[in-house]
Structure 1
C-alpha cells in the first residue's frame, strides 16, 4: 500500500459537534478541491432523524448502522479511485474507528470551538433537526481526536475561507492557489 499518510487522502471527514460548521466547511473544501461533498446526516435512517428532532440524543445502538453506511460509502469512493469530503460528527473514537477501519487514505479535519460560540450559532439555526438543547449531549459525547489519529485541527473562530485555506495548506501534495 505504501505510505498513505504522506499522500493526498481519498476522503476527508470534517468532524465536530453540531453547530461547529461541518457542512459549511466540508462543502467549501470539496468545492475548492473539486471533490464530491456528502453530508453524513443523509445516511441517518428516518428513525434517527425523528428521535433527534424530538429532542432525544442518539444511543450507540442508533449510531452503528449509520456509521457502517458511511464507512461503506468511504470504501466505495476509495475503490473507485475518487475523492470526497464528508461532514460527519464522528464524536467518539469508537465511531471514527468504524469510519476509518484502519484506512490510511482517510484524514480527519476536527473543527474545534467552544460551547459558547457553538451555542450562539445553534441559536440562530431554524432549519436543522438537531435542536440547540442537545448541544450539552454533543459536548458530553465528544472525544477530541488524539495525535495518533493525525487530525487536522482547525479553530472555528475565523471566516470560512481562512479555515479552508488552513486545511488545504496542511494537506500533503496540495498546491495552494493564491488569489489576489
Structure 2
C-alpha cells in the first residue's frame, strides 16, 4: 500500500452517492491505501434521524443540518491536526457539498453513480444497515446534479469493486499530486 499523504497540505476525499452505492466500502479501501483518516457520515446521525430512516421515512434538509454541522466540526478538527481524510457521505444536496469545500481542505468528490435497480438490489442484499431499500427513491429525488461542479468525478458502480477502487485510487493519486506543496514529506 502506498501512503502518499502530503503532511504540509492535508486533503479531503469524499466518496458520495445514494445509499447502497458502495461509498463506505470505497472510502475504507482508500483510507487504508493512502493512510487517510476514515470518516463515516452515518456515525454522525443523531438517533432520531436513524430511527426515522429505519422506518423508511426520508430526512428533510432541516433534519440533515445538525448532521452536516457535526461532520464539519469533526473535519475542521482533523484539518487543524493536519489529517487527510476520506469521508463516506451521501452528498445529495449541492449546498451541503459546498459546506465541505469551505473547510479549508483541497477537496475531491468521487460520486458513485449507477442504475437504480442495481443499487436497490445491493441494498436489499445487505444486512445490518438502518437504511432500508424503500428509501432509495427519496435519495434519488433529493440528489442534486453535480455536472457543473468541477471537483466531482463520477464513477460507475456497475464495475467490479477492484476495478472501481483502482479507478478511484488513480483519481486520488492525481489529486494529491496536484495539491502537494513544496517541502511536503509523504507519510510512511
Please state which band the TM-score falls in when normalised by the shorter chain. 0.7 to 0.9
Aligned residues: 168
Q: Aligned partners of 2:120, 2:101: CA distance in 1, in Å?
A: 29
108 and 8 in structure 1: CA distance in 2 versus 1, 3 angstrom threshold: farther
Q: Report the secondary structure of 2:149's partner residue.
A: helix
Confirm or deny: 8 A CA contact 2:37 2:84 kept in the other structure. yes
Confirm or deny: 8 A CA contact 1:68 1:99 kept in the other structure. no
104 and 78 in structure 1: CA distance in 2 versus 1, 3 angstrom threshold: closer
The 5 A counterparts of 1:151-166 are 151-166=152-167
RMSD: 1.8
Is 1:114–2:133 an aligned residue pair? Answer: no
In structure 2, the partner of 1:78 is 79
Which TM-score applies when normalising by structure 2? 0.83
Q: Report the secondary structure of 1:28's partner residue.
A: helix
Unaligned runs of 5+ in 1: 1-6, 175-180
Q: Aligned partners of 2:27, 2:153: CA distance in 1, in Å?
A: 13
Unaligned runs of 5+ in 2: 1-7, 178-188
Q: Report the secondary structure of 1:146's partner residue.
A: coil
Confirm or deny: 8 A CA contact 1:71 1:100 kept in the other structure. no
Which TM-score applies when normalising by structure 1? 0.86
